[in-house]
């Protein structure tokens, strides 16, 4: 009796059964019909093994083992062979060290020889034309590479062969599990970062290792870590940084005109990466971090928007992802007080001119009229007649050297109603300003140009005398006598007021009628 050995050789990178059970010990009548596998599912799986593989075909109930022959290496035996039906068997693939193309072979027991001396080690080898490919799972880059400790950052993990059948992935960052892991395509899976718990706050700002695990079967011990590869092919792991979330703590001022142009200062933390600021839906222009403290302060200028209050939204680019925050702070676009005209149209440089300011939104009540400043100096004796008419007494506008300074100055009105930047149902916050002349630092205002008149000077009066009863029409010539009748408050000769004032020539000549005097004599 001759029993030949069974072995498998690699030929042109394909395996083949070089010998089967010897025909010298078996009669042809005793031959067992060989199984005929016709299809395999799935056709590929991870090098980690564990894939549940199904073979369908003819006469499969005689199969005693299923193997996957790999080039230049021994066959890989599948485990857990199950005969589901004569035409269907199932087993789990074994692990291999590297990816490659494999060929499926099956074994069946050899029939006992006629002399009855059976050898249980004898198996017939049936080489199939079915192919099974081993492919390697791998990790690549991670985007974004950072997010807040509160979690919820949607990350994408790049890699390869994520779409293989029967795989279940889990992702953790520094030991914190991700939620909602989903395979998007063969080279990408996504998940949402978990909440970084308080005991793990030491991870803030430090790269945390990203681990991806895959379960290739339904057993706990089927869990494997997926190898991560760097760009140059070396093993490594992508990292994710939990950073302290940006935060806005103050916006100042919190009110400005609908025309825009308000210089906003925004304070907080994590502001260095700010890429945009929106105020009530309108973009803030010229966003610029403070050079000395870029992470704690930035500035920008409001643009035109409709009247009303809205959130201040700061958009920061952190970890390749745009984050919007700061909505809890508000800014109010206000309709400013408006000055249509000021009477008289010029003010004496020495002060004392009683002014009437006509306009709109000048305060709904007397208490809302905070201040009127002329050339930065407080206008005295404020009076409020209506939201469209207020009055005050002009201050002394002379410079230290006695000069009149600029030929025109700004009249500025500040109204408290514009400062009500809190929500309508919230208590109005108290505005504290140490110096009323610094109201411009915290409140928008209405402004109007006012001509500054030098001290009137009379060079000549014609005629130079008249009766005590008055009624003499006199002509005064000089300089700075006013540009309109409204500029002339009064004309007195001595202590007697002149009436029927007429400005004959701007600044240079006016006429009036003398009043009744009490005594004879010269009068200034």
More confident residue, 383 or 30: 383
Under 8 Å between Cβ of 310 and 413: no
Greatest mean pLDDT range, 353-362, 412-421, 432-441: 353-362
Strands (E), 121-204: 123-135, 138-143, 146-147, 154-160, 168-173, 176-177, 179-185, 188-192
Q: Which of 393, 340, 344, 385 is nearest to 364 (CA)?
A: 385
- Give me the architecture of the 36-135 domain, per CATH: Sandwich (2.60)
Q: What is the pTM of this model?
A: 0.48
Cα separations in angstroms, 520 against 14, 359, 462, 466, 476: 141, 47, 18, 10, 21
Give the class (CATH, top level) of 338-419+438-453: mainly beta
- Specify the CATH architecture of the domain 247-334: Sandwich (2.60)
Provide the pLDDT for residue 433.
Answer: 38
The answer to whether the 138-242 and 338-419+438-453 domains have the same CATH topology is yes
Is the CATH number 1.10.8.60 carried by domain 138-242? no
Q: Where are the domains of the chain?
A: 36-135, 138-242, 247-334, 338-419+438-453, 457-514
- For 39-43, 382-386, 424-428, 506-510, which range has the lowest pLDDT when averaged over its residues? 424-428
**Cα separations in angstroms, 324 against 73, 266, 297, 314, 321:** 56, 14, 16, 6, 10
- pLDDT at residue number 217: 66
Determine the length of the chain: 524
| 368 and 417 Cβ atoms separated by less than 8 Å | yes
pLDDT of 156 over the 70 cut:
yes
328 pLDDT exceeds 90?
no
Evaluate whether 41 touches 166 at the Cβ level (below 8 Å). no
Reference 127, options 253, 11, 212, 262; nearest CA is 11
What does the pLDDT average to over 141-152?
A: 82
- Buried b / exposed e over 213-224, threshold 16 CB at 10 Å, is ebbbbeeeebeb
Q: Is the peptide bond before 344 cis (omega within 30 degrees of 0)?
A: yes
Six-digit token pair at 257? 């005109």
* Three-state secondary-structure class, residue 368: helix
Q: What is the mean predicted confidence (pLDDT) over 27-41?
A: 70
Higher pLDDT, 271 or 432: 271
pLDDT tier for residue 380 given thresholds of 50, 70 and 90? confident
Distance in angstroms (rounded) separating the CA atoms of residues 41 and 69: 16
pLDDT at 191: 93
Average pLDDT estimate for 486-512: 81
Mean pLDDT within 305-323: 77
CB atoms within 10 A of CB 434: 6
117 pLDDT tier (thresholds 50, 70, 90): low
- CA–CA separation, 179 vs 193, rounded Å? 6
CA–CA gap between residue 211 and residue 228 (Å, rounded):
9
Q: What is the pLDDT of residue 327?
A: 65
Task: For residue 495, give the DSSP letter.
Answer: T
């Amino acid at each position: 009796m001759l029993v030949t050995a069974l072995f498998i050789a690699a030929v042109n990178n394909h395996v083949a059964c070089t010998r089967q059970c010897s025909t010298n010990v078996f009669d042809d009548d005793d031959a067992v019909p060989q199984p005929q596998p016709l299809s395999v599912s799935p056709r590929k799986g991870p090098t980690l093994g564990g894939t549940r593989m199904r073979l369908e075909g003819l006469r499969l109930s005689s199969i005693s083992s299923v193997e996957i022959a790999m080039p230049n290496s021994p066959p890989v035996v599948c485990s857990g062979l199950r005969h589901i039906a004569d035409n269907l068997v199932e087993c789990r693939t074994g692990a291999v060290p590297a990816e490659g193309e494999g060929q499926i072979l099956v074994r069946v027991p050899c029939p006992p020889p006629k002399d009855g001396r059976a050898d249980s080690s004898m198996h017939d080898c049936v080489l199939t034309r079915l192919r099974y490919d081993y492919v390697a799972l791998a990790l690549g880059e991670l985007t974004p590479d950072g997010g807040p400790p509160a979690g919820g950052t949607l990350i994408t993990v790049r890699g390869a062969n994520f779409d293989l059948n029967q795989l279940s992935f889990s992702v953790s960052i520094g030991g914190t599990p991700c939620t909602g892991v989903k395979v998007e395509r063969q080279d990408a899976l996504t998940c949402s970062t978990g909440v970084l718990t308080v005991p793990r706050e030491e991870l803030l700002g430090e790269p945390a290792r990203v681990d991806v695990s895959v379960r290739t079967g339904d057993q706990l011990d089927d869990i494997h870590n997926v190898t991560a590869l760097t760009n140059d092919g070396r093993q490594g792991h992508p990292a994710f940084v939990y950073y302290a979330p940006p935060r806005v703590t103050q916006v100042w001022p919190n009110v400005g005109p609908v025309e825009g142009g308000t210089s906003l200062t925004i304070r907080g933390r994590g502001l260095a990466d700010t890429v945009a600021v929106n105020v009530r839906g309108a973009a803030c222009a010229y966003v610029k971090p403070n050079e000395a403290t870029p992470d704690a302060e930035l500035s920008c200028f409001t643009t035109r928007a409709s009247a009303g209050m809205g959130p201040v939204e700061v958009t920061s680019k952190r970890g390749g992802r745009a984050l919007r925050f700061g909505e809890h702070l508000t800014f109010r676009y206000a309709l400013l007080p408006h000055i249509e005209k000021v009477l008289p149209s010029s003010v004496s440089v020495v002060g004392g001119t009683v002014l009437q300011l006509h306009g709109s939104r000048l305060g709904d009540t007397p208490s809302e009229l905070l201040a009127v400043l002329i050339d930065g100096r407080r206008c005295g004796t404020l009076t409020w007649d209506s939201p469209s008419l207020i009055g005050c007494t002009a201050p002394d506008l002379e410079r230290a050297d006695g000069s009149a300074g600029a030929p025109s100055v700004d009249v500025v009105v500040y109204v408290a109603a514009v400062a009500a930047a809190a929500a309508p149902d919230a208590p109005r916050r108290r505005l504290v300003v140490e110096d009323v002349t610094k109201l411009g630092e915290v409140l928008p205002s209405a402004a109007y140009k006012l001509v500054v008149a030098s001290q009137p000077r009379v060079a000549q009066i014609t005629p130079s005398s008249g009766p005590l009863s008055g009624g003499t029409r006199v002509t005064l010539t000089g300089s700075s006598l006013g540009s309109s009748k409204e500029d002339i408050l009064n004309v007195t000769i001595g202590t007697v007021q002149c009436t029927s004032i007429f400005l004959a020539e701007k600044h240079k000549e006016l006429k009036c009628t003398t009043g009744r005097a009490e005594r004879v004599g010269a009068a200034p």
